[in-house]
Structure 1
């Protein structure tokens, strides 16, 4: 992870103090039976986040999972460290299955994402026999459901949702999820748009520009490069408000939000933008926000990615979303990047997909959300 992603001294309290309220059970032995049902000599335990070998092996498994599911791999060790590092474990727990030679053959991860939304990663080595893969899968799902009960009870819930994903063409993963009682609930288009050098002039200046009473600007940063806390709160507030009616939206505290976004290996404070309405007599009012990240590549130019784009309902129809998208495209071009990616809900009623297609985005691959509701208690 980049140094910027680590806690930094001297920042405002909400940014300085990392989120540290792990509601999970850290010891797999507490939530799994003495004999969980694995092949003879195989074990289930937490991975060692300090082990280079463990991190490398988990990266291999993740990349093979991506390659089998969508035809190419993009994950790096930084993506694994988001899940298993000491920093990541403040909101997560992990389970690995090792064979009798101590080789990791499967990996599960749970993430206390927000109220009633526990994210789950389920990865099993592609070369395992069907019988061994099924036994690993059953143990991992049992562990995940036990963790759902832990986090749900800690949050005072009667039911805890487990939210996991799959590539649309990954039939092996679909069968495992169906066998475990998960339901396919949503489809997502993973879209990408090429960027050319001349598009750096799409807006006057990606750091700050104005059009028809709307100012588009980067989140303010202090002398040490860290963000203005009021701007961060404005970003959080706009996203919470604009996503209220979106699919599977759940409340996320400000501290949870900042902690989670800083974990992304591509996180950069100068990729956060605010759109403010300034055509009235009052103070500027945040009406839209875009949180971007860097999509690093080991084989060519980096890209930019739209992690979040939110516009208040009261400001829709004023070109806020278009202006923010033009800003990140121009910023990417100025940084010599060759693409901007984003995700869009294939079933959304907002018409966002039409905006993206009209601005040059095309679907690169498709993913799915699968859910299971677990009674707590």
Structure 2
């Protein structure tokens, strides 16, 4: 029996799917040349994120016993800085089963579920938006007719369904140890690795730091706690800047998602503390600690239009742009309307 002869079924994901979903994500990663494979613990953490109901917010497509496609919907509990409800759509189709309409089917299902969930969680909402990754831009100099890689082959589908590119994100990389970084010690500030009792103070600093950033919405305590205790978290290599009262003024939080690569996941400074070199100081301490721990490189993601000038800071710290990824959005139609 060939795979095309097998029955195709649709059902929600369950935690029993962690091994199969991990394998699917890694097949997608390999085919799309992303270089970002996942492990089962990370997949399980994604599927057990607070606020996610797999029975309602996920859909898996199976051919026989094989998982060949999946999608998960995540609607934020809070609105972003512009009063919008963020509806994140995440999924993919096995490379061997593409061009069969499964991607369009999963996207249509996820939009319908996200719109329903947005209306439930935010009955008095204003605008809501579907948000989805548009993959990686072609490398400079690539031929105009070259096949899209890096997950960007989804873009024709997104264009056809009314999505538009709204943001670009730079992946920046720095070799470790690299050139030494001279960072004067900020007066009256302690630069240290965060202990667990600084989890909530760091979240409060993050809420303040990102309140004026595009697309940012407050992270609730339970989700922050999940992020803080990820199995890939490297808090001993993360850094916070504390004032004399113990207030977190700035932070750089890290994970090790790929062996030997220190991922600087979040960097921020409270608005009232900007301009004092604190972001530079916390990143410098993290890079130095990563080098001592044997990491060969550090990477981070930054909004290409960052209002705080973060790209200039990272350039000055020796980071170099490696890739550009895109975010696509589409407005959610009010109940009873279609777009």
Do the two structures share a fold, i.e. TM-score over 0.5? yes
Segments of structure 2 that go 5 or more residues without pairing to the other structure are 79-84, 138-150
Classify the secondary structure of the residue corresponding to 1:363.
Answer: strand
Residue 193 (structure 1) aligns with:
174
Instruction: Give the corresponding residue for 2:146.
Output: none
Instruction: From the superposition, tell whether residues 186 and 81 of structure 1 become closer, same or farther in structure 2 (CA, over 3 Å).
Output: same
1:185-213, CA deviations, whole angstroms, 9 ceiling, x for partnerless residues?
111011111112996x978xxxxx95322
- For the pair 1:43 / 2:9, whether they are aligned, the reply is yes
**How far is the alpha carbon of 1:321 from its aligned partner?**
0.5
Change (3 A) 1:251 1:165: same
C-alpha distance in 1, partners of 2:36/2:251? 30
1:1-377 equivalences in 2 (<5 Å): 41-50=7-16, 54-70=17-33, 72-84=35-47, 87-88=48-49, 90-93=51-54, 94-99=58-63, 101-115=64-78, 116-128=85-97, 130=99, 132=100, 134=101, 136-157=102-123, 158=125, 159-169=127-137, 170-196=151-177, 211-220=186-195, 227-228=196-197, 231-262=198-229, 264-278=230-244, 283-297=245-259, 302-375=260-333, 377=335
Aligned-residue Cα RMSD (Å) equals 2.7
C-alpha distance in 1, partners of 2:93/2:53?
19
Judged with a 3 Å threshold, the aligned counterparts in structure 2 of structure 1 residues 314 and 83 are, in CA distance, closer, same or farther, namely: closer
Contact 2:86 2:128 in 1 (8 A): yes
1:185 alignment partner, SS class: strand
Alpha-carbon displacement from aligned partner over 1:113-146 (angstroms, at most 9, x marks no partner): 442223221201222252x1x2x12321232123
SS at match of 2:116: helix
Q: Does the CA-based 8 Å contact 2:50-2:223 persist in structure 1?
A: no
Give, in whole Å, the separation in 1 of the partners of 2:295 and 2:65.
Answer: 42
Tell me if structure 1 keeps the 8 A contact 2:201–2:247.
no
Distance in 1 (alpha carbons) for counterparts of 2:321 and 2:238 = 24
Instruction: Give the 3 Å change call, closer, same or farther, for CA 215–139 of structure 1 in structure 2.
Output: same
Distance in 1, matches of 2:76 and 2:237, equals 22
Measured in 2, the distance between the counterparts of 1:304 and 1:171 equals 25
What TM-score, normalized by structure 2, do the two folds share?
0.81
List runs of 5+ in structure 1 lacking aligned partners.
Answer: 1-38, 204-208, 221-226
Tell whether the 8 Å contact from 2:49 to 2:223 is kept in structure 1 after alignment.
no
Deviations 1:223-273, CA, capped at 9 Å, x for gaps: xxxx11xx22221111111111111011222233223443x4412443443
Tell me if structure 2 keeps the 8 A contact 1:267–1:294. yes
Alignment partner, residue 144 of structure 2: none
